[in-house]
Chains A and B, each alone.
Chain A
Amino acid sequence: MNLRWYHFALWALFILVMALIPELVSKGTLRIIIFANFLAIFAISWDVLSGRTGYISFGHPFLIGIGAYTSAILTKRFDVPIEYAIPAAVLMTMVGGIIVFLPALRIKGSYFALVTLAFMELIYQLVQVVRPDLTGGTRGMSGIETLTRGAVNGYYLSASLMVVVALSMWLLMRTQLGTALSAIGMNEESVRGSGLSTTRLKLFAFLTSAFVAGLGGAFYVHYLGSIAPRALFDINFLFTIIVAALIGGASTIIGPVIGAFFLTFLLEYLRPYLPGAERYFIYGMIALVLYMYEPKGLIQLFSNAWNSLFSRRESAGNQNSDQAGKQSDAL
């Protein structure tokens, strides 16, 4: 796995900062950061699948929705304890992941993206029409059991979940599995030509992505205590997830976390000037400019700065390492 001292240092620093944030910021800011934590989880989920394999999912709100609705319905309508409802929701989301996976057996590129977009639209229609007594129909649900009270507790819950998800996905993607999934994104035929079953790899990526999406969705609904289909199955929500992963730095895990925080605060700061959906236009422009300037994302900008600080040391230390060419691994 090739862990280095600065990996431990950076993760320790990251966890320390996350732990201290409630001492440093106002309650209002804390609530914004809670959203950033959940967005980061969703962006990591997207990144594990789309950032790696190149199968661009427009269906993540579909997956997140399955997680959120399953847990909400189980706890509210059937009085299932939350500690059973959440695992059940994650399992259901993984079933959803398999459904999204099926078209990936046959189609690639923009067609795949469009098919997954159809899943999002489909579930939006379904929750409104099928058994609105369970789903709450167009209005959604409220009064869902919450796991925490107050911003500080909500913050710690979301931050812990985000850190655990980020760290475990980061470790997982540093193994040969991560290399194989990235290889699919570069040339799927060559991966098959190297003797690896891409079907199995893709299925694993879809299931892992769904696992994270379901986990995030279920916890999110038990943080909010309510669910609004119009906001969940919304194209702006979808693009916020994707843009967070892309401008942060796809295929890096930490990139999407950085991207999620950057986007959340950008949207918040734009809110007083642009209260409506025009905000999304502005952030789209900013994201585009950033993306054109550095396609590997914000993480690459940080990584470049880091490398210029430590360059002499690193070039000596990297001689015997295969990581020399991939400086983005520094973070």
Chain B
Amino acid sequence: MKTALEIENLVKRFGGLVATDNLSFHIEQGQSVGLIGPNGAGKTTVFAQIMGEHLQTSGTIRLYGKDIGSDSTPERIRKGVSRTYQVPRPFTDMTVLENIRVGQMPNSIWQMIKSKPQYEKEVELALSVGFSKTDLHKPPGELSMGDLRKLEMARTIATGSSVMLLDEVFAGLTVAEIAQIGALIQQMHKDGMTFLIVSHDLKALEPLVDSVIAINYGAKIAEGNFNDVMDNDNVRSSYLGAA
């Protein structure tokens, strides 16, 4: 099996605060891994560094064996890794389909002009994340939080990346929506997608992941299969301490 994503000795300092503390882990291609930890543990900051939105203080980030640590965000996405955001960030004056279109577009101005939008693919993607046909032409302003997360998922999938980082995918969703998004992730996992998933909802996370990494204060405190990590004393106390 090939290693998809490899993080080595990653450190991120915000002034005096160490948000990522010498973190190392790797994800094999096709694996689905959970990243857990209490609020403020540094999960989102790890995502931001993998995507190049924050530059790491030190450490290495490799995608399929290649160092991507100095690439721009769009370059990293083109190389195969993309993420969703804790707070959805849709294009407000566009329809659901147009939002997805932006994710699907080629990153070449000439190709953008020359090629037509792939309308059928946009629709297919929208329906696959659970939109109904009547939602396709709605602007984000008319969508529920659950729909906005679906839109975020669809636009991220549309970029064609093979490694997806999902940040708090279940926040603000109804039980039915959690089941729907969960089923989608499982299906994509089966089809070969590599995942790194952050979620507070551990029950919803469990069926989606092959293994879990727990962090606290930016440092790894446990790693392994879901139940073992849950039983780990450090993990328990980190959650208790935050609560």
Contacts and interface: CB of A to CB of B under 8 A. Distances in A.
A180 B75 CA distance: 17
Interface string A169-187: 0001001110110110011
Given A179-B101, A183-B102, A325 B107 contact: no
Interface string B72-87: 1111011000110100
A180 B89 contact: no
B113 A179 contact: no
Contacts of A182: 91, 93-94
Contacts of A200: 107, 109
A183 B94 contact: yes
Interface residues of B, number: 41
A201 interface: yes
A176 B137 contact: no
A179 B82 contact: no
B202 interface: no
A193 B109 contact: no
Interface residues of A, number: 28
Contact of A204 (B72, B90, B109, B137): B109
A180 B102 contact: yes
Given A193-B82, A193-B85, A195-B107, A180 B112 contact: yes
A183 B102 CA distance: 8
Interface in B194-237: none
B73 to A, nearest CB: 5
A174 to B, nearest CB: 10
Interface hub of A175, A180, A195 (most chain B Cβ within 10 A): A195
B105 A194 contact: yes
A189 B139 contact: no
A190 interface: yes
Nearest to B85: A193
Contact of A322 (B89, B91, B95): B95
Contact of A195 (B77, B116, B136): B77
21 contacts: A176-B101, A177-B112, A179-B98, A179-B102, A180-B102, A180-B105, A182-B91, A183-B94, A186-B91, A192-B74, A193-B73, A194-B105, A194-B155, A195-B78, A196-B107, A198-B74, A204-B109, A322-B95, A322-B97, A324-B137, A326-B95
Interface of B: 51, 72-75, 77-78, 82-83, 85, 89-95, 97-98, 101-103, 105, 107, 109, 112-117, 119, 122, 136-139, 155, 158-159, 161
